[in-house]
Structure 1
Amino acid sequence: MAVSVFDLFKIGIGPSSSHTVGPMRAAARFVSRWLDETGMLPRVAGIRCELFGSLALTGRGHGTDKAVLCGLEGSMPDSIDPDSIPATLTRIRESGRIRLHGSHEITFNEKTDLVFNKRQKLPYHTNGMRFSAHDAAGNELATRDYYSVGGGFVVNADEAAVDRIVADTTPLPHPYHSGDELLEICAQTGKTIAEVVLENEKSWRSEAEVRAGLLAIWKAMQSCVARGMREGGTLPGGLHVKRRAPELLAGLHSRPEEALRDPLTILDWVNLYALAVNEENAAGGRVVTAPTNGAAGIVPAVLHYY
């Protein structure tokens, strides 16, 4: 199985790669592939979404309901504006209508059409979803099961049944299965880790595309850190957790001379960068899944330090 850097680092939204990013992708995929591309979208009069297992038990706290609604409207985690989500949800909930694929508007009652099956689980994974669409007469037009298996990856029931997360058998010039094998390749070829990975990435796309994609990811990381250090207030949820990054930033700016005396002061900055991302993730902001949302602050913090 071949895995690209762009499979591991994906631009998305918080707070969870498996409970937010995955469900949004699944909902958008169902509407796009099974309703729009098949020509059935104009016939759809109603849609039903069911969440199972962990998605049902902890979904509301992780924004799974919000992610599904935005996904049904055609939004994707890497392109949706997080600041637009509250207005979209308010429109859907107050009007009782949803715009499938952003164009086909139908009646939607969140209480009955988005169901949390807390005592049930689909067969292959605890993060299961089922989407069904019907026409005006109540006839089923399409139904599909999906599983959010972590890191933003989504598989359908057929893929889950054969335990297949990514069906990519692209031959790579430098295949490896462990860190030891990667280091051995570097020793044999005289290439750095970065050069080995770049050669592998060129099996899928041009070097220019690889570099442009990585720069887009880095820009998203930088923006996330900057916003996290700027935004105050409290994080969503009933615990009313106060954001700490802006105060930490102010404190570091107030004592720049300490950096000259104590080299460990730089670690305070590294921790600040990571915390800023973590708080953005908890707030549902734009982050880079690296390789999960729960670990999203580590790579940006290290890159900012570097």
Structure 2
Amino acid sequence: MVSVFELFHIGIGPSSSHTVGPMRAAMWFAQELMESDFRDPISRICVTLHGSLGATGKGHGTGKGVILGLSGQSPESVLPSQIISIVADAQENGRLSIMGAITIPFDIKTDIVYKVKSLPQHPNGLTFQAFAASGDMLLERRFFSIGGGAVIRGEQPLVPEVPLSVPFPFNTAAELLTLCKNNRITIAQLMMENEKARYPEAEIHARLDRLWEVMQDCVRRGFEATDMLPGPFKVRRRAKGMRETLLKNMNGETDLLSAMDWLNVYALAVSEENAAGGQVVTAPTNGAAGIIPSVLHYYMHFIKGASIQGVREFLLTAAAIGTLYKTNASISGAEVGCQGEVGVACSMAAGGLCAIIGGTPDQIENAAEIGMEHHLGLTCDPVGGLVQIPCIERNAMASSKAVNAARLALHTVGEHHISLDAVIKTMWETGADMKTKYKETARGGLAVNIKLC
């Protein structure tokens, strides 16, 4: 069973699959280098990025992630000041400290190779090679960044062979609903019992609270920043200005759509921070990281009786829905397009919100289904290979959809015609039919119809 903390974890922007995953893979490779006893010292490291990583890695910060990981930094603990200094040392001085133990020459223009052709196993592949001064290869390892920051080694199967034993295992939404009905528990309670197979309850609460704390910090930073985002488009941040306008308008006439405005500004704040390479919660990916924090902020500010316990129930419920997508389809834009990122996040947020505003398990399943049904076929076509256009506004749009889906589901009477299982299956099949150029390669759609500045 997929853990809540596999779907939600702390990382850095701009991309979970293209920055966080490669960073984690590079750290594993560096650790193995330090544990190996080579006859000759390490003289050079070469990293080859395959498929989607090769196509959009420059805009998605893959090189940055590789440099940080080889330096021994983890996505969860690296500080912004460390990011700047480590990457600058490699770029300006042409050197890299491996795990802080040995320093080798490192030329980011030649030692990181971008190849658009994918490896057979997955569109996001990385090959690491370490060489001696003689040119002899000392170590070679391959990894795949499979979405949401998750990484597997090249020799591993894409699906673990031995699942963790939990009290309430489920593979489909139908099984999940049956378990809730037969045991008279909510989806959040079921997920909590499964998580307790991994961690003590107090630790689960602490980790959930930490995720919410990072989400709030990210929104606050987004509200304060005024700089332009990196890249050739010179995209200006909008969250700070929009928030100031909303605060001024609060003293005027009541706007019935002000809640939607706040949803937008929360999502923009997080997505802009992610695009700038800041710290975010992968939820379930970085490209969709603004949706769940936005809907949770909406809950805390606009729903009477909102509490930290509600936040926990939201995250647990959303994780159950995310588990279904990760098990039966994909959360990788390189595999299924943006329906697997923004669509899944919208589905998770819709179900999570429905749960904490009074929805039954059946209504939660319906909310999650609505959230995805209206994202089917959504392509991933980042302009310039950057997580900016259309990604930032897309997070805002999906946040509003998630709230609407939850409210629609609460008014559902009787059975709905399309199940969550059916829409997940459809999403997976749609992703398989989607042309590669629309799946995080920046070779189709908006990416080729907008001229670079």
TM-score, normalising length: structure 1: 0.92
* Counterpart mapping for 1:1-306 below 5 A: 2-32=1-31, 34-40=32-38, 43-118=41-116, 120-159=117-156, 162-164=157-159, 166=160, 169-257=163-251, 261-306=254-299
Deviations 1:261-302 (Å, cap 9, x if unpaired)? 334312211221111111111111111111111211111111
Q: How far apart are the structure 1 equivalents of 2:13 and 2:238?
A: 18
Identical pairs, percent: 47
Q: How far apart are the structure 2 equivalents of 1:206 and 1:109?
A: 45
Over 3 Å counting, the alpha-carbon distance change for 1:41 and 1:210 in structure 2 is farther
Quick one: which amino acid aligns to residue 59 of structure 2? G
SS of corresponding position for 1:141:
strand
SS of corresponding position for 1:236:
coil
Query: Which structure's relative contact order is higher, taking Cα pairs within 8 Å and 6+ residues apart?
Result: 1
Deviations 1:232-289 (Å, cap 9, x if unpaired)? 121111011110000011001101135x733431221122111111111111111111
SS of corresponding position for 2:171:
coil
SS of corresponding position for 1:247:
helix
CA RMSD of superposed structures (Å) = 1.8
SS of corresponding position for 2:100:
coil
Q: How far apart are the structure 1 equivalents of 2:177 and 2:7?
A: 20
Q: How far apart are the structure 1 equivalents of 2:39 and 2:185?
A: 51
Give the conservation status (yes or no) of the 8 Å contact 2:168–2:179: yes
1:41 Cα deviation after fit: 10
Bigger CA drift: 38-47 or 60-69?
38-47
Structure 1 unaligned regions, length at least 5: none
Higher strand share: 1
Q: How far apart are the structure 2 equivalents of 1:276 and 1:246?
A: 8
Structure 2 unaligned regions, length at least 5: 300-453
Q: How far apart are the structure 2 equivalents of 1:293 and 1:6?
A: 14
TM-score, normalising length: structure 2: 0.63
Bigger CA drift: 224-233 or 35-44?
35-44
1:54 Cα deviation after fit: 1.4
1:188 Cα deviation after fit: 2.1
Give the conservation status (yes or no) of the 8 Å contact 1:42–1:104: no
* Alignment size in residue pairs: 299
Give the conservation status (yes or no) of the 8 Å contact 1:3–1:168: no
1:42 Cα deviation after fit: 8.7
Quick one: which amino acid aligns to residue 152 of structure 2? V
1:55 Cα deviation after fit: 0.9
Give the conservation status (yes or no) of the 8 Å contact 2:280–2:286: yes
Q: How far apart are the structure 1 equivalents of 2:235 and 2:190?
A: 43
SS of corresponding position for 1:274:
helix
Quick one: which amino acid aligns to residue 154 of structure 1? V
Over 3 Å counting, the alpha-carbon distance change for 1:83 and 1:9 in structure 2 is same
